[in-house]
Amino acid sequence: MADPAQEGRRLSRSFSGLALLGALLVVAGLVGLVYTGVATLTSMILFGWLLLVGGLVGLLHSIQSRGTNYFWLGVVVAALNIAAGVVVIRHPHGSAEALTMFAALLFLTGGVFRLVGSVVVRGPQFGWTLLQGAFGLLLGLLVLFDWPHSSLYVLGCFFSLALLFDGLGLIAIGVGGRRIVSMVSDRMAPEGGATRGERDRPSGDESSGDEQNRSDN
């Protein structure tokens, strides 16, 4: 059976590593919010490489599963991913403009559907749904009116915010996990000490027998 203290130290180191990773992500997110243009370019290059690597992996998987019914479908999807990855890597600025336009249209349509749905249904979350729809519609209009200049900072801002909130979540998990481990270790330490003390302490019968022998002598 593993030592509880050793397991506690191992868990504490693991949670400390999560907190450190979260701190790095928070720093990267803050830097990205300051330099949104660099963050946009970085996110597009990473996105292109993800598409390229995912397409190559999908192509290898399709080749391994040749003879099946979905062989050609897997090949076509992998080829599209590879082609899209090459295009995004070679033309990151144009890809950023296209994705920014897509994001603006997505915000617009989502905001309109939420507004119409909230007015028609009028459910218990009417106010929140109406507010979300208005916010999405306003955000889509702002991005669309400033396009293509908005492509220089919109995607980078979203990417940096994602890094920031993911980092804060990892920090919360790491710090909370360390506190839980320390609380459990503190509770287990007195119990272990009491058990060892009871083992070392002589029993009542043995102590009374010793006293009786000393009185007879």
Element holding 35 (H helix, E strand): none
Residue 12's alpha-carbon distances to 22, 70, 170, in angstroms, are 15, 46, 14
Please report, to the nearest 10 degrees, the dihedral formed by the alpha carbons of residues 151, 153, 155, 161 taken in order.
Answer: -170
Model pLDDT, residue 24:
92
Q: How far apart are CA 196 and CA 29, in angstroms?
A: 51
Q: How far apart are CA 78 and CA 71, in angstroms?
A: 11
Residue 43's alpha-carbon distances to 34, 40, 54, 133, 186, in angstroms, are 15, 5, 16, 27, 45
Question: Would you say residue 192 has pLDDT above 50?
Answer: no
pTM to 2 decimal places = 0.64
Model pLDDT, residue 14:
82
Model pLDDT, residue 176:
83
Pairwise pLDDT comparison (57 vs 180), residue with the higher score: 57
Model pLDDT, residue 10:
78
Between 50-54, 122-126, 192-196, the lowest mean confidence (pLDDT) is in: 192-196
Q: 156 is written with which tokens?
A: 């980078």
What count of Cα atoms within 13 Å lies in the side-chain half-sphere of residue 180? 10
**Percent of the chain residues past pLDDT 90, beyond the cut:** 1
Model pLDDT, residue 216:
53
Q: What does the pLDDT look like over 141-179, one tens digit per residue?
A: 888 887 877 778 888 888 888 888 988 888 888 888 888
Q: What does the pLDDT look like over 70-119, one tens digit per residue?
A: 778 888 888 898 898 898 888 888 888 888 888 888 888 888 888 887 77
Q: 22 is written with which tokens?
A: 């979260």
Question: Would you say residue 43 has pLDDT above 70?
Answer: yes
Question: Would you say residue 193 has pLDDT above 70?
Answer: no
Question: Would you say residue 29 has pLDDT above 80?
Answer: yes
**Which residue, 120, 57, 51, 110, is CA-closest to 85?**
51
Model pLDDT, residue 149:
79
Question: Would you say residue 25 has pLDDT above 80?
Answer: yes
**Percent of the chain residues past pLDDT 70, beyond the cut:** 81
